[in-house]
Structure 1
């Protein structure tokens, strides 16, 4: 009996430790090292925020399309043959003389200019709906930037800078993976030719890999389907995910820097005493609804809250987006900020560009739940 008791004491099983407690009990240096090692896995595991980037694509495309359609009747006076009043600016504008952005400047007649303008509208529509996103985006971006810089003093604003940065980085992401015509084409090709659907590899591995069922016919058909329906077919799955996530991270760092630098810049006397919003909303050249600006300026408490709130939400935005709960607060605050300056100060295009980038910070599960609720509501209305 004594031997049995001794053996039982020797093999006593320790209670299982919870994973979070085990992680917390590890040394700080080891936890930091584990975090560093988890970065490559986070980058290569899957493409992040695909729904948010699809929303960003829609907002950026609508903003550019609205600018083009609104100025369509005045295109000659702003950029074409009737824009002789801008000759002094053209002489000093070396940007549009570069070949990448000189398409509109090289137009020899009004008909050529109009043809390019209509082409740009068509490319912008394709970008917005996600039709051949990889091919359309760089062409649309170069044409649109070149057009804006031909009359930057009148048409251009700070929102154009944010738009250019966002679209340029968006091209490196798979922003047409969902809610796009490209996604619809992928699903249709998968139903029509399931045997040729990608198996997780890139174009090279799929075309030259051995296939007992398809034989030699896999190569040309797979190349055609990949070229028509799939984005970045020359990279494998983890490579596409890494490029996508790196561009997404760069976009988030860019917007965090914009907000943080804007918050640190607001250090003047008017921002300290809480009256800066009053003076900004009373500028007549920025009035969209004068009566609303006057109503806002009549309350000192509201003016002070908006002044200090705009500084705090911009200054602490990079820190607030780290945790999901604080991220929701930061996104709600920054959305209210952009709605305010867009409506009260007529800074619409900048607000749209920044809201588009902010949309990438919303979790994909939130977009999926919202889409399911919208579909359920639509089905109930049709029933």
Structure 2
């Protein structure tokens, strides 16, 4: 093997052998889903004016626009108020379940449907963060974003532990009760229900063209994955599906990284062309607009320091333009990444754009080092343990204990057995 072939072989093995960046994609999943969920909850009282039948951009106007750009939204299937409420509720539910990592493959698709349906219904509502969520929702469908920090990962760990405890009887037969406890029944039911819904929508003619192929392809791929996992979890076909899933995941991860770089690069180069960014006064003007001044006293304080505003203006442009080029140097990349995350946190507070900042931070998280994310996960686990330890627990009942296995021997039983042994040794009969 030549010197050129060795790196190529290592690269192919790395791309096909594992789903890269499990913690990074998990953070992008949690951050994107949480941002969209919090946005929907905040705008819940105003949902009819923003995306529903009471908005200035009414259903007929949206239908005319979508007939030209062919954007996907299920809100165009009906103009009824009940249908809108159902779609809005499902969008919130899928966001919450994706954030928790419950059935991430399915929830990522439903999350994408909810995001596209609401945003494409009223395209003139947004602050820039909606475009980031729009893109992340599409890319997350390609990734295996539930490998860690998810209910799916916890369920898989429990299944592996249950398999390790499977009892093999003396005649070589596996204990069927132990194996049955690890069988997934929710996944097939969910798959059949969604397949029935997709069949109804297809029969009604609401889906056509590319979107019809995409949803049916995803449904068939999920069904094949589940069937092979149940019947031949260690067979050759499952290994092949793992390789394909890894390739698709790594391609989706690369798309997220490239998209984040494009966002910063284009924003930085467009800023360079603006006269206000060239003379260092661009940051001054948003601080003096009522719409971007949730804290007028803070805005006035910041806008009164001209030199600081000039440094922030030039620094913002420099960081955004330079960031894609710093990916080849890990230390410099981490420094600029911390600076950009801090900048978005300041924008969230000073300019009153929390959801834009959260969306950008979620996209930036794909570049966070794994060591930092592991420490972050450890801090979260310790905080959760501290909170749970303070919650009083109910005493377990006899039925719950017996389901977990034989009851442990109490100190009273041990003492009683010890006394009986001593009596037998000395020949004493009570």
**Coarse TM-score class (shorter-chain normalised):** 0.7 to 0.9
| Aligned-pair CA distance for 1:178 | 0.8
Rounded to whole Å, the distance in 2 between the matches of 1:243 and 1:97 is 27
- Higher mean C-alpha deviation, range 90-99 or range 360-369: 90-99
Does structure 2 conserve the Cα–Cα contact (< 8 Å) formed by 1:49 and 1:363?
no
Q: Superposed, which structure 2 residues align to 1:244-255 within 5 Å?
A: 244-255=249-260
Rounded to whole Å, the distance in 2 between the matches of 1:76 and 1:226 is 34
| Aligned-pair CA distance for 1:334 | 1.0
Rounded to whole Å, the distance in 1 between the matches of 2:341 and 2:173 is 53
Q: Does 1:139 align with 2:145?
A: no
CA distance 1:191–1:373, change in 2 (3 Å)? same
Rounded to whole Å, the distance in 2 between the matches of 1:379 and 1:321 is 36
In structure 1, the residue matched to 2:25 is: 53
Q: Superposed, which structure 2 residues align to 1:121-270 within 5 Å?
A: 121-153=92-124, 155-194=125-164, 224=184, 236=239, 237-267=242-272, 268-270=274-276
Does structure 1 conserve the Cα–Cα contact (< 8 Å) formed by 2:53 and 2:59?
no
Q: Which runs of 5+ in 1 are unaligned?
A: 1-29, 197-211, 215-219
In structure 2, the residue matched to 1:4 is: none
Q: Which has the higher contact order (CA 8 A, sep 6+)?
A: 1
In structure 1, the residue matched to 2:402 is: none
- Higher mean C-alpha deviation, range 248-257 or range 273-282: 273-282
| Aligned-pair CA distance for 1:255 | 0.8
Instruction: Return the match for 1:323 from 329, 333, 337.
Output: 329
Instruction: Return the match for 1:113 from 81, 84, 105.
Output: 84
In structure 2, the residue matched to 1:43 is: 15
| Aligned-pair CA distance for 1:310 | 0.5
Q: Superposed, which structure 2 residues align to 1:265-344 within 5 Å?
A: 265-267=270-272, 268-344=274-350
CA distance 1:60–1:47, change in 2 (3 Å)? same
Does structure 1 conserve the Cα–Cα contact (< 8 Å) formed by 2:57 and 2:122?
no
Q: Which runs of 5+ in 2 are unaligned?
A: 167-171, 175-179, 191-221, 229-237, 391-430
CA distance 1:380–1:149, change in 2 (3 Å)? closer
Instruction: Give the superposed CA RMSD.
Output: 3.5
Rounded to whole Å, the distance in 1 between the matches of 2:363 and 2:285 is 28
TM, length-normalised to structure 1: 0.76
3-state SS in 2 of match to 1:104: helix
Does structure 1 conserve the Cα–Cα contact (< 8 Å) formed by 2:115 and 2:134?
no
TM, length-normalised to structure 2: 0.68
3-state SS in 1 of match to 2:336: helix
| Aligned-pair CA distance for 1:51 | 1.3
CA distance 1:148–1:96, change in 2 (3 Å)? farther
Does structure 2 conserve the Cα–Cα contact (< 8 Å) formed by 1:263 and 1:311?
yes
Instruction: Return the match for 1:352 from 352, 358, 364.
Output: 358
| Aligned-pair CA distance for 1:186 | 0.8
